[in-house]
Amino acid sequence: MLIVMEQSVPEERIAGVIEAIEAKGLRAHPIPGASRTAIGITGNQGPLDPAEFENLPGVVRAIPVTQPFKLVSREVKREDTIVKVGDCTIGGGAFCVIAGPCAVESERQTFAIAHRVKAAGAHMLRGGAFKPRTSPYSFQGLGREGLMILSRARRETGLPIVTEAVDTESVDLVAEHADVIQVGARNMQNFSLLRRVGRTKRPVMLKRGMSATIDELLMSAEYIAAEGNYNLFLCERGVRTFSNHARNTLDLSAIPAVRRLSHLPMIVDPSHGTGTRDKVPPLARAAVAVGSDGLMIEVHDNPDRALSDGPQSMYPDQFDALMADIRAIAPLVGRAV
């Protein structure tokens, strides 16, 4: 159920509705909008009766929400969510490019790449300090030391930092250093982690799981929003299919499908989505043209020596060329780079 309040309604009216909701043993989620406030209700078993709420002072309408996800649904909030990260913007007509190495390997490497991607026009720096790896014997990231390097790279370049939290234990540490907390594909249904990042104040980027439907992705986003964190955007990174010419099958139809159902921005990761460097530029261009809100791209100054995901990392020169393509295509689909 979504309660739509009158425009410019005084705060105490909102507080009164929240109180009434909580008195019924339900949970109220105020969602401030540009013109008016709405209040999402969750926690009900079965449908609620709109009449129970429409008589409360200040309420315009009570709208039943038919989707299993509510707070992230477009039924509940019609306008696009816009996530602000420092001077950068994700959603609402902006096109945001996040670039950097798969893993933070050293200060030298991180700074070198950060300067290169900034010069090329990237808006944020990505880099993994905690790496979820299929094998326990693979490089697992520099951990805390990696986060410190990222912090210093931000100081050096001004680029906000996107980095992954792989477990509840490291969320606070990551939140301290990161501008955007990434939840990776393998953790898309790690519900404890979702709740935990939902309780931070940091923007969150949630990646689609390898075999997740759009509904499941939005339900996972709902876990984060239900804890009060609406600074949230999604990332398509390819799904697992029989198709064997690429590491994953990048599902670009997810972009219009999500836009229809949800107000959350969604970017695309063609590096994981394809798994090989030569396929990243064409799929990155396609991701712009399909109407996504941004890209996340792996760039390495020496991919052949990268400690992880070398084959899918672009050379800096390739990235320069790609940024030129992005700048040309984005305006044609109503996006400002």
| Interface positions with its own copies (CB under 8 A) | 42-44, 68-70, 132-137, 166-169, 186-187, 189-193, 195, 210-211, 213-214, 216, 219-220, 222-223, 226, 239-246, 249-257, 260, 273-274, 278-279, 282-283, 285-291, 325, 328-329, 332-333
The tally of CA atoms less than 13 A away on the side-chain side of residue 79 is: 13
Residue 239 dihedral angles phi and psi, to the nearest 5°: -120, 165
Minimum Å distance from CB 268 to its own copies?
Answer: 10
Strands 266-268 and 2-5, sheet pairing: unpaired
- Classify residue 96 by burial, with Cβ atoms within 10 Å: 0-12, 13-18, 19+: buried
User: What does 88-100 look like in DSSP terms, one character per residue?
Assistant: EEEBTTB-EEEEE
Residue placing its CB nearer to its own copies in the complex, 102 or 254: 254
Residue placing its CB nearer to its own copies in the complex, 8 or 46: 46
Residue placing its CB nearer to its own copies in the complex, 153 or 166: 166
Residue placing its CB nearer to its own copies in the complex, 95 or 154: 95
Minimum Å distance from CB 205 to its own copies?
Answer: 18
Minimum Å distance from CB 163 to its own copies?
Answer: 16
Residue 322 pairs with which residues in a beta bridge? none
Question: Token digits for 117?
Answer: 């991607």
* N-to-C CA span, the chain: 37
Residue placing its CB nearer to its own copies in the complex, 216 or 301: 216
Strands 37-42 and 232-236, sheet pairing: unpaired
Query: Could you give the C-alpha distances from 175 to 180, 193, 194, in angstroms and in order?
Result: 8, 13, 13
Minimum Å distance from CB 252 to its own copies?
Answer: 5
Minimum Å distance from CB 132 to its own copies?
Answer: 6
Residue 62 pairs with which residues in a beta bridge? 3
Minimum Å distance from CB 173 to its own copies?
Answer: 13
Residue placing its CB nearer to its own copies in the complex, 88 or 95: 95
Minimum Å distance from CB 39 to its own copies?
Answer: 16
Alpha-carbon Rg for the chain in angstroms: 21
- Classify residue 152 by burial, with Cβ atoms within 10 Å: 0-12, 13-18, 19+: middle
CB 7 within 8 A of CB 70: no
- Classify residue 42 by burial, with Cβ atoms within 10 Å: 0-12, 13-18, 19+: middle
Minimum Å distance from CB 154 to its own copies?
Answer: 26
Minimum Å distance from CB 10 to its own copies?
Answer: 30
Residue placing its CB nearer to its own copies in the complex, 85 or 165: 165
Q: What is the C-alpha to C-alpha distance for residues 103 and 322, in angstroms, rounded to an integer?
A: 21
Q: How many residues does the chain have?
A: 337
Residue 88 contacts by C-beta under 8 Å, 6 or more apart in sequence? 94, 96, 123, 124, 160
Residue placing its CB nearer to its own copies in the complex, 28 or 125: 28
Residue placing its CB nearer to its own copies in the complex, 279 or 300: 279
